[in-house]
Structure 1
Amino acid sequence: MRYPFSVPFTALALSTVALAQPPAAAPSNPNDAATVNGETITLADVDAVLKQSLPLTPLTVAQRRQMRVEVLADMVDDLLVRQFLRKNGPKVDPAEIDAQLKAFGEKLSKEGKSLAGFYKETGQTEAQVRESWTAAMQLTGYVRSVATDEQLKAYYAANKDHFDRVEVKVRHIVLRVGKAATPAERAAAKERLEALRAEIAAGKLDFADAAKKFSHCPSAPTGGDLGYILRKGGLIDEAFAKAAFALKTGELSGVLETEFGLHLIQVTDRKPGTPSTFEKSAMDILDSYTDDFRADLIAKLRKEGQIQLTLP
């Protein structure tokens, strides 16, 4: 279990969370941002979380609203999971949370900090932290009860690069394709990347030169170099990381689509990490499996749930 656990929040500068339903045209209450299976998330709730992640530079109205949308998406996911755990999760003894808070407070004290300062810094009350940690413990307990040893061993084998802490150095070329792009525009971007790939594969074009000239990523000036990445747990898109780790050093990927656009990926180096074992990695395996279980659960709950978005 990893602590402190708070409202899950994706790095806004590096990801965009797609909402399952469009905002309603006319909110029933202008102070509400969403209703999830009858439970309300208010604008004040959203802005309290947003306040902790605002950049130093002023935002435009459009930028602020987009950040609100992304925060709200995470909050909807979090509420869906909590609702599920209320019905299906194991009970958590409040004394366990007391012990966790005490241990965390002692850790902060050694660093010259305090729990009160932590609450203020993260914009949470003690009650909110208790609720978040309780949900985290419930989720882990639920996963323990449903995941078999065979499933965990299979998961470990499928993600051994992650548990060995293998790193690959990658570079990419990305063509941004907006959500509003037409099928023809998307097809044209894919065709352009496939043509670039053919030239690179034939030795007619250098990958770094192509990235500098055509990539829409801030990494373009350095030839698309993203440095070393891990298989899981970093800030890189999961589909992107999975594709990169499937490549041999020097190998080119096919055209890959993520929420950020269409990519060509090349691995330029690989660090082997440190060989792990299933037994010694047991807690890390459970943590990682739980993270993936949560993501799959959210997808299922979004399809089944009654979610009304009323963010103005």
Structure 2
Amino acid sequence: MREILISAIVTALVFIAAAPDHVQAAQIVDGIAAVVNGEVITIGDLDAQIDERLKQTGIPEGYTEEQVHEQGRRLMLESMINDILIQQEAERLGLEVSQADLENAIRKIREGNGLTVEQFRSQIALKNMTREEYAESVRKQLLKQRLIGYMVQHRVVVTDKELAEYASMMKQHSMPMGMGPMDMMMEAPAPDASAASEPSSMVELSIIIVGTQDEAEDLHNAVSSGKLSFADAAKQHSQGPGASEGGSLGTIALSELGAPIQQAVSKTSPGKVSDVFGLADQYAFIQLKSKQGPAQAAPQKEPEPEPEDNETATASAGPSPESVLSSLSQDEIDQLRNRLMQQKLEERFSDYMKQLRDKAVIRVNL
């Protein structure tokens, strides 16, 4: 979903460029983007994956859908090639994820976040995903984890010094010490790396999510006519997050919300209620309270160097790992350790994927 180019075949590109427009269009629609050990990825498959990602993340500000498709094609293709290699290697090793394993993992994620089944479904809907789409993303993660577990020969160790350095860095940048399991499993890469690095607008809004369009339209009419306040409608009828608080999501980065919610925000003035829109397999409308541009970090002055004697040089080495970790709760330490462990495993997995790609027969036609 991303942190993970083979040259284009020049003769194929020359042939396409020389073909009539209607022939080019047919080849783009029906053509082959890549072949991985005999398994085909079509251009249609590739574009469908990009569309699926855009459905969840929306189009970054300043980009058109065509630009995202053009710039994101190679990145998405690389991700799809890796997915096929992982699946093929798992099959070779006899690794699989059963339906029972998948449901158990999803249940643990839900319970780890303290959510009911309906609340969990609504959290997924905020990303504009159905439960089936979410389950498939979890299945891929589980398969990858099992492959990592199989191929890691030696135990990965995270030292207290590494933990302390990581904790100090997190504090320096005012970042949360841990990431919840829902965030870990639902995080998705942006279509374009440069767009992902840009800060997102912040919005304060409330949302009402229900199961059918008719129910959503009826509630919308009741709120618009003044028969019900938005908060009361949410408390009484919403299946979405924050229902007991009037549907409030608080202040949240716009980029964290699914494309339909982003579009509703763009069409709604602060203080107003949006039209009803589809959200995965449910229906919703929002009340936009405020919208702010990306928060800009204040420029930091470069500290002027000071002469050091032996004493200050020793002090500048910073606090000991023990003193840094003593300021954290055991839960924070565990989350940091898990995150660092995951990073180390990812590094090993990247090396493993490179070996798989070196052995694979891959033909890329983009």
Q: TM-score, normalised by structure 1?
A: 0.48
Larger Rg over CA atoms: 2
Q: Which has the higher contact order (CA 8 A, sep 6+)?
A: 1
Q: TM (normalized to structure 2)?
A: 0.42
Give the structure with the higher percent helix. Answer: 2
